[in-house]
Structure 1
Amino acid sequence: MDQIQGGGIVFRLMQGVKICLKSEPNRKLGIEFADYNRTVTHEVTYPNNVKLSIQEICPSIFGDIREMNKISQISLLKEWDIPQDKLTASESSGKSGSIFILSNEKSFMIKSIEKREEKLLLRMIHDYHQHLVTNPQSLLMKVLAFYSIKNTISRESYIMFNNLLKINVSIDEKYDLKGSTKDREASKVERAKAVPCLLDNDFIAAQRKLHFGPVKAEFMKQLVADSSLLCRFDSMDYSFLVGIHKVKPEDKEFVQSQKSSIFYNSPLGDKVCTIISSDKTEIYFVGVIDIFTFYDAEKRVANAAKSVKYSEDSLSTVNAQKYSSRFCTFVDSIID
């Protein structure tokens, strides 16, 4: 990712986020159906008479998700109280060119989203929220807020979510896995990093396995349920994010004292699925990210064009049903 300066729209976004958080009303008991369509608008005037409209989309719904994850208004305000001279953002090197902003302690992220991602999120919002309510151990990324910034000529949308790999131990290996193989190798630039984010072919070439042991069945049941939700809404191209910590001498007391080897909140990784390997030599931090890519007409055309030259089984751009089936089969195959 390329670093970009913290001025302009990034600074105004941060100011808008803090205004939204500070103005958050007391949470009422229960969610009403109207909450899935409600927006709250804040008209803000910045220096030099720059006027913007900041919209909170479905604030009660995302407030409920924050509450489920025990994330307070005070903690978020502290995380996003970033001085302008220290405010930085990164631009994705991928096709989307999304902007990412990390909070003070890197516990949360804000990401810009495209219109088609926004449309899918709005279509999914009711079922996504209810899925998280009925599946408290869901592996899906947790969207904590949804904002839209408008001026007289443009509109940008952003989501806030928890950083799955903000944990209290070091990450020694990191993988972004989709179950496809076309162009799924980390670049030379990525490999030069201290802890590169490796991809499917890198994982396969290393003959890597994740040793979940007896908790595999519980884990896979949840993964299939999560993927089934995404499939219903024609979502595809999501990733299984894996962070691996090699157990150090200072970790052994914690590891040996645990009665279970799977957690969804632990001293090592808060609000992330944490699994101790069956041989107690590794700790895995896992989740499903990038879940709002819709298999639309553009993706269908891309699939048709690429399928002429490459096996469809190797492509990330396939229909949601095929993607879900292949994704779950692949993850199942790399776990023992």
Structure 2
Amino acid sequence: MTCYNNLKCLVQLLFSEDRLKTKQVHFSTSSDDSSVFHSEVDFRFKTYAPPAFDHFRGLFGVSQEDFLVQHKNSPLRELSSSGASGSLFYISKDDEFILKTVQRKERRLLLQVLEDYYQNLKQNPRTLLPKFFGLYNYIPKTGGNKNIRFVVMNNVLPSALKMDWKYDLKGSTYNRRASLAEKMKPYPTFKDLDFVEHFPGGLILEEATYNALMRTLDLAASENSRQMQRLKEEEKDLEESKIQKRTDENWFGGIPARSRNGDNLLVFLGIIDILQSYRLSKKLEHTWKAVVYD
């Protein structure tokens, strides 16, 4: 099937049932025709929906060669995480890729929303959603070790700049202050109340930058594809392209801002943990905390 620029046709091709099948390779310490020889330990390695993620990497400008080279012989660095999900984070040598462990339900959810995720990427190239490059599962032969499911995604924080503050923001005030132990770390992750304390007057953005950012956030949150398309008017596209050009050339991909004290800042934004299922119990918990604490 040839689709060219036909979005509907391309979606049907990429996300058909047979294209979302799992590819599995067995790595064995004993050489045979059904496995790949490996000198360390026996394990199986699963790749989920390879054609879909190959296409995503192409959309993100990541070549197959760069993707493989960065993970083939280069050691990964473990990153500290203050999140409640219990996920482990590792970063590639060039700081471009992050490997994040995920639970079975998160893997299932990502596969379920792949088509909607793709539609969002096509209609909103500047989305703040994570850029997923691949979904995998490491399965050791020995029964004592658990499966390790992980996604490979982009790193939104630049390695070329020294980071002054890092925040995990949820829009709530209940229990949203970094612990003393967290604050003692070399690169702590602060929370909502810490942000309010550090920037009591908030941050100031240029009007054009603010408007472009709000449109990006609106598009990321919208579930109506027609509304998303209507927002892409020529005048807005021209304005955003100018802002994007200036951002790429001068600000390392960050958003220029100022504090109320007049300090110049660069802000880097990204939406994370989109694979967390927001069930009824969580909704009730959020409502209760909002009423009692906010």
Q: TM-score, normalised by structure 1?
A: 0.65
Distance 1:306 1:141, change over 3 A: closer
Aligned to 1:96: 85
Q: Does 1:275 align with 2:255?
A: yes
Give the Cα–Cα distance (whole angstroms) in 2 for the partners of residues 142 and 157 of structure 1: 17
Q: Does 1:176 align with 2:165?
A: no
Q: Does 1:53 align with 2:44?
A: yes
Question: 1:126 Cα deviation (Å)?
Answer: 0.8
Moved more, 105-114 or 182-191: 182-191
Moved more, 92-101 or 285-294: 92-101
Q: Is the 8 A contact 1:138 1:222 kept in 2?
A: yes
- What aligned pairs does 1:84-233 form with structure 2 within 5 A after superposition? 86-90=75-79, 92-151=81-140, 153=143, 154-206=146-198, 207-214=200-207, 215-229=209-223
Question: 1:209 Cα deviation (Å)?
Answer: 2.1
Give the Cα–Cα distance (whole angstroms) in 2 for the partners of residues 98 and 157 of structure 1: 10
Determine helix, strand or coil for the equivalent of 1:101: strand
Q: Does 1:81 align with 2:61?
A: no
Determine helix, strand or coil for the equivalent of 1:148: strand
Aligned to 1:17: none
Render the CA deviation track for 1:236-259: whole Å, top value 9, x for unaligned.
Answer: xxxxxxxxxxxxxxxxxxxxxxx9
Look up the equivalent residue of 1:40 and give its one-letter code.
Answer: K
Question: 1:265 Cα deviation (Å)?
Answer: 7.0
- What aligned pairs does 1:290-301 form with structure 2 within 5 A after superposition? 290-296=273-279, 300-301=280-281
Q: Does 1:43 align with 2:32?
A: no
Question: 1:109 Cα deviation (Å)?
Answer: 0.8
Moved more, 64-73 or 74-83: 74-83
Distance 1:211 1:119, change over 3 A: same
Question: 1:61 Cα deviation (Å)?
Answer: 1.4
Look up the equivalent residue of 1:282 and give its one-letter code.
Answer: L
Q: Is the 8 A contact 1:36 1:126 kept in 2?
A: no
Determine helix, strand or coil for the equivalent of 1:54: strand
1:288 to 263, 271, 274: 271
Q: Is the 8 A contact 2:247 2:255 kept in 1?
A: no
Question: 1:157 Cα deviation (Å)?
Answer: 1.3
Question: 1:38 Cα deviation (Å)?
Answer: 2.4
Structure 2 gaps of 5+ residues are 5-9, 30-37, 224-240
Aligned to 1:245: none
The higher-RCO structure (CA 8 Å, 6+ apart) is: 1
Instruction: Give 1 or 2: higher strand fraction.
Output: 1
Q: Is the 8 A contact 1:37 1:58 kept in 2?
A: yes
Determine helix, strand or coil for the equivalent of 2:113: helix
Question: 1:199 Cα deviation (Å)?
Answer: 1.0
Q: Is the 8 A contact 1:261 1:277 kept in 2?
A: no
Distance 1:116 1:314, change over 3 A: farther
Point out the structure with max Rg over C-alpha: 2
Q: Does 1:70 align with 2:96?
A: no
Question: 1:88 Cα deviation (Å)?
Answer: 4.7
Look up the equivalent residue of 2:21 and give its one-letter code.
Answer: R
Distance 1:312 1:53, change over 3 A: farther
Give the Cα–Cα distance (whole angstroms) in 2 for the partners of residues 188 and 221 of structure 1: 37
Aligned to 1:266: 248
Q: Is the 8 A contact 1:108 1:163 kept in 2?
A: yes
Give the Cα–Cα distance (whole angstroms) in 2 for the partners of residues 269 and 71 of structure 1: 21
- What aligned pairs does 1:10-49 form with structure 2 within 5 A after superposition? 32=13, 33-34=15-16, 37-46=20-29
Look up the equivalent residue of 2:217 and give its one-letter code.
Answer: L
Percentage identity across paired residues of the two chains: 27
Alignment RMSD, CA only? 3.2
Question: 1:125 Cα deviation (Å)?
Answer: 0.9
Q: Is the 8 A contact 2:95 2:159 kept in 1?
A: no
Give the Cα–Cα distance (whole angstroms) in 2 for the partners of residues 80 and 36 of structure 1: 24
Question: 1:50 Cα deviation (Å)?
Answer: 3.2
Give the Cα–Cα distance (whole angstroms) in 2 for the partners of residues 135 and 91 of structure 1: 31
Question: 1:147 Cα deviation (Å)?
Answer: 0.4
Look up the equivalent residue of 1:179 and give its one-letter code.
Answer: G
